[in-house]
Each structure stands twice: as C-alpha cells, then as structure tokens.
Amino acid sequence: MLRQRFVLDTTALTDSLAWEGEGAATICEGMSAILDRVAEGRLHLGISCYIPYPSVYSEIKDFARHNNCSSAVLGKVDTWLVKKTPDRYKVKVPSKIFYEYVDYMRSRINKGMNISEEAIWESVSRCITLSESGASLKDMKEEIERETVGSIIRKFREKYRAALRYGILDSAPDIDVLLLAKELDAAVVSQDLGIQRWAEQLGLRFMESRSFPGMIREYMNALPGLPVDEMEEDRMV
C-alpha cells in the first residue's frame, strides 16, 4: 500500500461527529479514540499524521487542557502526531491564489458592510417608533438598550460572523495547515470550510475530519492477518 501523509488541523481531533463515530461520550474520550486510530494507521499502515508547530500543536494542547483532558491524551498527541514547522519561505504558492483570495475577501467585507448598514437602519427605525409613543428618553432608555438595540446587536453579530468567517482563512494555524500540506504533498484533514475551500484552490487532497477515523478503520479492516475484533479488543485494554 502506498504510504500516505496527512496534515491535521485542530478540528481533526475536536469535531464532535468525528469522535462520536468512535463511540466516545466526551471530547477527551473522543480525542483519545481518534489518536488511537492514528496510532493504528502509523503502526500497521505506515500512515504519517503531521501538525504544524507551534500553531496547531499549541491549539490542540490548549484545547485538551481547557477541557481537563488527562495527561495520557496529551501524551498521545506528542507520540503519534509529527510536529513540523512549515517552510514559509520555500513553499511556492501561485500568485493567482493571492489575487483570488483578495477578491474573495473584498466581497466578504462588502457583505459585512451591508449587514452593518442594515443593523443601523433597523435600530434607528425602532427608536423612532418608540419615540412616537410620547414617553421621555429616560423612560425609554432601558427598553431601547435591552429590547431594541440589544436584540439588533445580537442578530448583527450572528450575521456578521457568518459573512466574514464562512469560507475564509482567519488564523495563522489555518494557513500553516495549507502550507505544510503543500510542502509535504500531503492530504489535509479538517472540518473548516475556509481550509477546505483553499485546499481545493491549491490542488491539495482534502478529507473531512469526521471521515478520517473511518478511513483508517476501513484500511485496517482490509489489512490481511489482523482481524477487526482483535484490534477492537486492543483498543479497549
């Protein structure tokens, strides 16, 4: 079998559907189960799983600590995931990608601006309607802050976040995942839509986080001389 390389982002270990598919009930159990799959792939299939260092590595470690995961989970992260810093100076990215990204970001920013304008007009309209009741500003102040402006701000934040974060690269770890995959000619494992979109633009192989453990499981099922029930017993010990 051709040995494969994968570059994982944080969602490869933290996506709920990924670890629920492994029968885990908590995030810590899920991370441990997925790392066990990675270990099986490494030992029996020669699969190598990389994470960008220190960006994604730090995210995963912080996530595990924040959720009070045991030192055993952190130990598996250090043991089975290869930490590597992408060569940001030598990895070649087509200039067309930068052009398309700038153009894409411009359209997203314009969409965010339209959402902001809509929120302002709605807020003004509601305040005018309240003022027509004849009540004093002091009497209306609490209602304006809590019911009118407060609800508009909450709705604005949801729409604005969706407009500016959907399908974009919004962090250094996201970029590191793509650069490292490009450098290693590896497949990207992520549930992030921004990473997925730009992995496609870079011509990188891509796999959703929730499908990754199942892929290793299918490889293991097809491996001669290693019955599935024995593998599952080993994981339960």
Give yes or no: residues 158 and 177 share one domain: no
Residue 82 predicted with pLDDT over 80:
yes
Residue 178 domain-assigned (yes or no): yes
Give yes or no: residues 229 and 180 share one domain: yes
The distance from CA 8 to its chain's CA centroid, rounded to whole angstroms, is 10
The pair phi, psi for residue 190, each rounded to 5°, is -165, 160
Residue 68 domain-assigned (yes or no): yes
Give yes or no: residues 145 and 186 share one domain: no
- Per-residue pLDDT, averaged over 190-198, amounts to 92
Task: Give the pLDDT confidence score for residue 153 in this predicted structure.
Answer: 85
| Domain final residue pick, 131, 165, 199 | 165
Give yes or no: residues 178 and 77 share one domain: yes
Give yes or no: residues 44 and 104 share one domain: no
Q: Residue 170 is which amino acid? A: D
The pair phi, psi for residue 84, each rounded to 5°, is -150, 135
Residue 197 domain-assigned (yes or no): yes
Task: Give the pLDDT confidence score for residue 150 in this predicted structure.
Answer: 76
Task: Give the pLDDT confidence score for residue 103 in this predicted structure.
Answer: 86
Percentage of the chain modeled with pLDDT above 70 = 86
For residue 24, what are the domain limits?
5-85+173-236
Number of domains present in the structure of the chain: 2
Residue 236 predicted with pLDDT over 60:
no
For the chain, the farthest-separated pair of C-alpha atoms sits apart, in whole angstroms, at: 83
Q: What is the pLDDT of residues 117-133, one digit of tens each?
A: 888 888 888 777 777 76
Task: Give the pLDDT confidence score for residue 170 in this predicted structure.
Answer: 77
| Domain final residue pick, 120, 149, 165 | 165
Residue 79 domain-assigned (yes or no): yes
Residue 90 domain-assigned (yes or no): no
The DSSP bridge partners found for residue 7 are 50, 188
Residue 136 domain-assigned (yes or no): yes
Task: Give the pLDDT confidence score for residue 163 in this predicted structure.
Answer: 76
Task: Give the pLDDT confidence score for residue 140 in this predicted structure.
Answer: 67
Confidence of residue 108 (pLDDT cuts 50, 70, 90): confident
Confidence of residue 137 (pLDDT cuts 50, 70, 90): low
Give yes or no: residues 81 and 107 share one domain: no
Residue 135 predicted with pLDDT over 80:
no
Contact 190, 11 (CB under 8 A): yes
| Domain final residue pick, 165, 187, 220 | 165
Residue 110 predicted with pLDDT over 50:
yes
Among 179, 173, 213, 215, which Cα is nearest to 192's?
173
Give yes or no: residues 69 and 178 share one domain: yes
More confident residue, 216 or 156: 216
Place of tokens 């796999």: 207
Task: Give the pLDDT confidence score for residue 2 in this predicted structure.
Answer: 58
Rounded distance, CA 111 to CA 58, Å?
32
Contact 190, 196 (CB under 8 A): yes
**CATH code assigned at 205:** 3.40.50.1010
Reported in sequence order, the residue ranges of the chain that DSSP labels E, i.e. its strands, are: 5-8, 48-52, 82-84, 187-190, 206-208
Residue 121 domain-assigned (yes or no): yes
- Per-residue pLDDT, averaged over 104-108, amounts to 83
Residue 199 domain-assigned (yes or no): yes
Rounded distance, CA 237 to CA 231, Å?
10
Place of tokens 């994470």: 51
Rounded distance, CA 169 to CA 175, Å?
7
Q: Which of 21-25, 33-37, 98-102 has the lowest mean pLDDT?
A: 98-102
Give yes or no: residues 207 and 155 share one domain: no
Place of tokens 């060569």: 87
Q: What is the pLDDT of residues 65-79, one digit of tens each?
A: 999 999 999 999 999
